Structure 1
Amino acid sequence: VNQPSVLEETGYMKAVRLTAPKHFEFVETETPTPQDGQCLIKIERVSVCGSDIRHSYGPILSEDRYPFAPGKPCHEVAGTIVESRTDGFPVGKRAIVIPSGDAGGLAEYIVSGPERIALLPDEGNLDEWLMCQPSGTVLYSCQQMPNLLGKTVLVLGQGSIGLSFTMITSRMGARTVIGADLLDNRLEKSIEMGATHTINPSRDEIGQAVLEITN
């Protein structure tokens, strides 16, 4: 299958790259060209992973690490296929993409093979579908856990990963799911995602609070 691209044939695209700690710059770079068995995806949504902040954005790395390749660091990406050279991945389908090699998500377009593309339904908000990428990591972790039926689970932190743990463990049969965070708005969302109890350690000593909840 060789479906045509809707990309304007300028040959270049805009991208962002990390050039120093917490410093990004916009650059113009060549638009990648898909080979046989690959797709070209127009990136429409990205999210920032905590590992990017911890390992790339924030710390001061050695000078030889800078600048990063255009588009990096960013690996949580969703968009629309605009050119396809492989069966089963038609132009116009939305997808989550996991970048590989020197590719990064902070760019207008990315090339990927089908092994790193997850097609999405036509309906639904792409912002929400993108969260399947980090939530998939949480799901894999939960699958390594023992049977949670009737158990108590404490989830420390209710950011995107913590909320995913809260949601999934509650659906795995945990009787009590406790979400802990310093921000009350996150604790409110924690209840929506399945927590039976919440703790704000800035107000309550967490160990004592857990003992009171679990008797």
Structure 2
Amino acid sequence: MNQATMRALIFEAPGVIRCVDDAPRPEPGEGEVLVHCSHAGLCGSSIGAYTGEGGWARAARPSKPGWTGHENAGVIAASRCAALREGLRVLAVPHAWNGFAEYFTAAPDMVVSLPSDAGDFGAYVAAQPLATILNALSRMPSPAGKTCAVVGQGPIGLMFTDMLVRADAARLIAIDQVAWRLDWSRRFGATDVVEASDADSGHSANSDDHAESDDSDDSARVIPGQRKAADERHRAGGERPLDVHSRPGVDRPTVEYPNLARRVDLQRERAGQREIEAGTE
């Protein structure tokens, strides 16, 4: 490997990823920066790119080097933008979503500089998926003092749980089919956990504490087996008991660097389908 090449991942075929060390290193265009990547997040959208299912079946194979990485942190290695100097630590959304690579280029409006005392550099990659959650929060009424539930306690669900707790929800019900995830739900502040391994009956791991409580707020009760009935009532003109995959909603929940995360979210929105389709050309 020399100055003109770099390491990168290539989606070679459905279910097949290859790491190469001779991918061409990109050069920043006018106004752009070249980022030496230190951390990359694995988005759920990349799972489809790996399996080749759904719309991803149309994606070109083998892919361009680095595709479909788009949640990155790194250090600016070269800059053609006066506002972004070399050596600056940044979060960035790579051009054409090619962030599964050692180097990538990015436009200045897709780069956010990090403070010099940022601490755990890699943890900042989570600001990008967190931005999706904060965006949902901004569209919701405040959950403060209310009972809320989150169905699914994977990485995004746990972030939802954490933000709802930080937004002063009085009671947080975490629901998942995987028992060990619920241990993490408790660590993130869930007051109740429901192991939904049986779709027709819910088992609350701490139901003795709350099974008969909060009778005045039946709309907040979401247990496995009730979701389908709730959706049917909603379609018939009734009120949905709880839209569980929404985010808590205070104007500005108490989280670190919310403005940074929000800015990244807006940048990713602007990137939109154009960035995704770049891997299919």
- TM-score normalized by structure 1? 0.84
Distance in 1 between residues matched to 2:214 and 2:101, nearest whole Å: 48
Tell whether the 8 Å contact from 2:146 to 2:169 is kept in structure 1 after alignment: yes
Q: Which residue identity does 2:158 align to in structure 1?
A: L
Matched, 1:35 2:26: no
State the shift of 1:78 in Å. Answer: 1.1
Deviates further, 109-118 or 181-190: 181-190
Distance in 1 between residues matched to 2:35 and 2:211, nearest whole Å: 50
RMSD: 2.5
Report Cα offsets for 1:120-153 as digits up to 9, x if no partner: 2233112211111111111111111122122221
Matched, 1:97 2:109: no
Distance in 1 between residues matched to 2:187 and 2:115, nearest whole Å: 24
State the shift of 1:211 in Å. Answer: 6.0
Which of 193, 202, 209 is the equivalent residue of 1:206? 202
Tell whether the 8 Å contact from 1:17 to 1:73 is kept in structure 2 after alignment: no
- Which of the two has greater strand per residue? 1
State the shift of 1:67 in Å. Answer: 1.4
Distance in 1 between residues matched to 2:7 and 2:165, nearest whole Å: 42
Figure out how many residues of one structure are paired with residues of the other and give that number: 206
State the shift of 1:157 in Å. Answer: 1.4
Distance in 2 between residues matched to 1:97 and 1:26, nearest whole Å: 22
Distance in 1 between residues matched to 2:103 and 2:23, nearest whole Å: 11
Tell whether the 8 Å contact from 1:11 to 1:30 is kept in structure 2 after alignment: yes
Which of 114, 118, 143 is the equivalent residue of 1:148? 143
Tell whether the 8 Å contact from 1:41 to 1:82 is kept in structure 2 after alignment: yes
TM alignment of 1:108-123, pairs within 5 A? 108-122=102-116, 123=118
**Counterpart of 1:3?**
none
Which of 169, 178, 187 is the equivalent residue of 2:182? 187
Distance in 2 between residues matched to 1:20 and 1:73, nearest whole Å: 14
Matched, 1:139 2:134: yes
- The 3-state SS of whatever aligns with 2:72 is strand
- Which of the two has greater helix per residue? 2
**Counterpart of 2:218?**
none
**Counterpart of 1:168?**
163
Structure 1 gaps of 5+ residues are 1-7
Distance in 1 between residues matched to 2:130 and 2:37, nearest whole Å: 20
Q: Which residue identity does 1:58 align to in structure 2?
A: T
Tell whether the 8 Å contact from 2:195 to 2:203 is kept in structure 1 after alignment: no
Matched, 1:130 2:130: no
Seq. identity, %? 32
- The 3-state SS of whatever aligns with 1:65 is coil
Deviates further, 152-161 or 199-208: 199-208
Report Cα offsets for 1:43-93 as digits up to 9, x if no partner: 11112111221x311234547621111101221111111112223322222
**Counterpart of 1:20?**
13
State the shift of 1:193 in Å. Answer: 2.0
